[in-house]
Amino acid sequence: MSHMARALKATYDFFAGDAILLGATALAFALGTLLERVAHAPNPLIATCFVVLLAGGLVTTLGRELRGRSRHR
């Protein structure tokens, strides 16, 4: 594995560790920036969209984790 690929993987593991969370975070920042600079949206709207996208990423990740576990009774 090349040095660049190892550095990218280490960065990914450090910041996200999960592709869904990484994608949701990137999307939240991109949408927040777009809403602020292009649409001139108010800050409460931007913050709400940001939190909703992050929560959606967390719920999706947790749902995937729970579906992957076997049930013990």
Sign of CA dihedral 48, 51, 54, 55: negative
The verdict on residue 22 lying in a domain is yes
- Residue 50 belongs to domain spanning: 17-68
Query: Residue 64: what residue type?
Result: R
What's the domain count of the chain? 1
Determine the pLDDT at residue 50. Answer: 95
* Overall pTM surpassing 0.75 (yes/no): no
The verdict on residue 48 lying in a domain is yes
The verdict on residue 9 lying in a domain is no
From first CA to last CA, the distance across the chain in angstroms is: 43
Query: Residue 8: what residue type?
Result: L
The verdict on residue 4 lying in a domain is no
The neighbour count for residue 53, using CB atoms within 10 Å, is 20
pLDDT digits (tens, 9 = 90+) for 12-39: 776 666 788 888 999 999 999 999 999 9
